């Protein structure tokens, strides 16, 4: 199995765990997002055509990497903004 398919399997479960932990919104998400069913579909597709899923895998990996970069930049921006806000409140 390709690393990209494994990343997709892990990504499905991780997304389900992270968003499922949010009260109310997580319940709605859990109802709509079935990580285990998605993983079974990925495994079935891989077994039926091991080379056919590569393009979708590459797209998913690109999306995951883009999402991680966006999260990192967002966290850094939020940290800088909160630090500036705190420094202004203190009067420095």
At residue 60 the predicted structure's pLDDT band, cuts being 50, 70 and 90, is confident
pTM for the complete prediction?
0.54
Predicted local confidence at residue 14, as pLDDT = 86
Instruction: Report the C-alpha gap between 27 and 58 in whole angstroms.
Output: 30
Average pLDDT of 46-62? 73
Looking up tokens 């979708």 gives: 56
3-state secondary structure 35-82: HHHHHHHHHHHHHHCCCCCHHHHHHHHHHHHHHHHHHHHHHHHHHHHH
Predicted local confidence at residue 83, as pLDDT = 93
Q: What is the pLDDT of residues 11-30, one digit of tens each?
A: 888 888 888 888 888 888 88
């Amino acid at each position: 199995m390709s690393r990209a398919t494994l990343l997709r399997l892990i990504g499905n479960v991780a997304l389900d765990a992270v968003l499922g932990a949010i009260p109310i919104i997580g319940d709605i998400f859990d109802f709509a997002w079935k990580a285990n069913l998605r993983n079974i579909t990925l495994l079935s597709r891989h077994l039926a055509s091991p080379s056919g899923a590569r393009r979708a895998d590459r797209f998913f990996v690109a999306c995951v990497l883009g999402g991680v970069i966006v999260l990192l930049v967002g966290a850094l921006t939020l940290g800088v903004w909160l630090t500036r806000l705190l420094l202004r409140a203190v009067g420095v």
